[in-house]
Amino acid sequence: PKPENAITIAVSSRALFRMEEEQKIYEEQGVEAYVKYQLDHENEPFLPGAAIAFVKALEAVNAQLRELYPDSEELFDIVLMTNNHAQVGVRLINSINHYGLFIERFCMTGGNSPICYLKAYHTNLYLSSDAEKVSGAIEEGIAAATIFSPSRDPEVSEQQLRVAFDGDAVLFSDESEQIVKAHGLDMFFEHEKAHENKPLAQ
């Protein structure tokens, strides 16, 4: 897909796959032990992470659109964003192939912040398990969300895309929410009544 025409969604490797064990090795034993572990296990696919069902649902939408409109471009372009080094790339590619994911573009930052890379990829949405990186992306004007690993596997459709957006501070500004925090619920109701015909800012 041409990035200027597709909705580009950058997904971090730790949101797409479960990498808690590997992250623990990195934190406790350092980068050399981490890379060695990844190389020794490069033919073992990572376990699926919290974002994998979402990515599969995006791909299902792309597949249906290709079927209905064979000459059209993909609607969603998925980029794997990871701060890993290239040595870990083989295991990531093997895992993507194992789960049959259609991810052709990778960005391996080698430990650098993903922000400038997100901008270069014209990212519309960034999904990561790292709340700090998500905050950094939001501060730069890139829509982003933190993906949490559930304590149990939720039943989520991989064939149908379902997205719920929070209205306050996501689709619309948080101006009403700020009034609740600063002045309480009664003032909020007064403010909403006085401004009921005025649309909220984006």
Q: Is 166 designated active site?
A: yes
According to DSSP, the residues that pair with 78 across neighbouring strands are: 9
Q: Are 83 and 106 in contact (CB under 8 A)?
A: no
Sign for the CA dihedral angle at 135, 127, 51, 37 comes to negative
The SS3 call for residue 146 is strand
Catalytic residue chosen out of the listed positions 77, 153, 166, 186: 166
- How many other CB atoms sit within 10 Å of the CB of residue 21? 12
Q: Is 123 left (phi over 0), alpha (psi -120 to 50) or beta?
A: beta
DSSP 21-60: HHHHHHHHH-HHHHHHHHHHTTTSPPEE-TTHHHHHHHHH
> 50, 149 in Cβ contact below 8 A?
yes
Beta strands in the chain (DSSP E): 7-12, 17-18, 47-48, 76-82, 105-108, 125-128, 144-146
Enzyme catalytic residues:
166
